[in-house]
Structure 1
């Protein structure tokens, strides 16, 4: 049965690592829903967080294959542990003056914030899990979404675990 998986991959900060990791997923027929990469707590190492959909058996094979890549240090299936995941989205919404109070009500409900106002648009920043961002986008659609930019998911295990 296919399900959503969030995987943390600690890698050497080297050119071509992202390409090799994403290529591995593609060769196995896994689509990457989102991938974020950034510096980790250790100098010279980066952390990738990949969200993908697939069955457990194929995911297990991907984890084994990832360890065979030269620059991969550690692979953790975060979905098997209690975790915190977040994404950031910037959403530019068509907004005439008379619609702004309604849009501001949505912004407040989602604990989002307005980061730019133009003469005919508002740009909103929202942070949360993917379902929160998807829900906010659905509520803003009737006003006319002009542009969306999403960061992709980043995640960590809860509590004292350091992975």
Structure 2
């Protein structure tokens, strides 16, 4: 709590206006990739609930036997993602397809996705101070989860993946922070 004085944070980016624009695009792309990463890391599944009446076939027993709905196919489970719920089977199929890709880049992304699916990987893609990637593999994880988003039809995933690809060879833009009163 301050004593009534307001502090603002000044961000200075070396270079002309486009450098600042690239910095902001990269930061929002990192944040969106983080949302997808955490969704795939948690793998929260919603199973539809079906209420079926039970009809007692015996006169006095507690046999709650029902034949309603037997031999029907299982209902699809939904996976919670930033673009809404997606079918869990489809997400798993896309991850398997990426892992089985014939390209070296596809196999690397598939390797990252399989590790994420098995519960391994980073806790977060974004560094704890909020200013950059959390390790050398974080950009690869980001590209992997945004590739899944694109294949599921997420337009924001495609938008942010293009910004991550444009700065793939670059490190995070350096930022100086000054506190002013």
Normalised by the length of structure 1, the TM-score is 0.26
Max radius of gyration: which structure? 2
Instruction: Report which of the two has the higher share of helix.
Output: 2
Normalised by the length of structure 2, the TM-score is 0.24
Instruction: Report which of the two has the higher share of strand.
Output: 1
